[in-house]
Amino acid sequence: MPSVSLFNSFVLSLLLTANATLATHPHPSPSPHQHHPPAPAPSHPPVRKMVAIQGVVYCKSCKYRGVDTLTGATPLAGAVVKLQCNNSKTGMVETKTSDKNGYFFFMPQKLTTSGSHKCKVFLVSSPSAACNVPTNLHGGALGAILLRKPVDAPPKPLPFELFTVGPFAFEAAKKLPCHY
């Protein structure tokens, strides 16, 4: 039975060699082609865009004087609104006058999206003596914050971010009789 004994000795020497190898190298060495996850993309600050602000001013029906509604209201041409921003050492104030549809549009030269959160739009004055009391409907009297207006993607990207305020309203003074 020398061959069985020789075979057993051979198997025993293989096992001892394997154990010795595992004892000195418990984990296989990494492959030279080991894959690492890709590095995260560099973080870019948000793109600053110029800002435009739009809104509409109405004259409320005196029937709804004191009520937060635009029922029976008509567009007010010639109303003055003010954009005020407190985002720099000097601040910024601009005024605009509404058109025949009560519409106004600001496009300040130095206001970007990064500073727009520090701006408000206020009602200033009405050209109508019968409708000259500013209401706080949608923040008109105390100042409305700028809200991004969701728009369908235009065929060509706009050079500005469009914000909307209002609609705002003036109403008749309580001391005036209601004729309309």
Residues 111, 156 contacting (CB under 8 angstroms): no
pLDDT, tens digit, 9 for 90 and up, residues 154-167: 677 777 888 999 99
Average pLDDT, rounded, for the chain: 80
Residue 172's nearest CA partner among 120, 133, 119 is 133
Domain boundaries, the chain: 55-171
pLDDT, tens digit, 9 for 90 and up, residues 33-66: 666 677 766 666 667 788 899 999 999 998 888 8
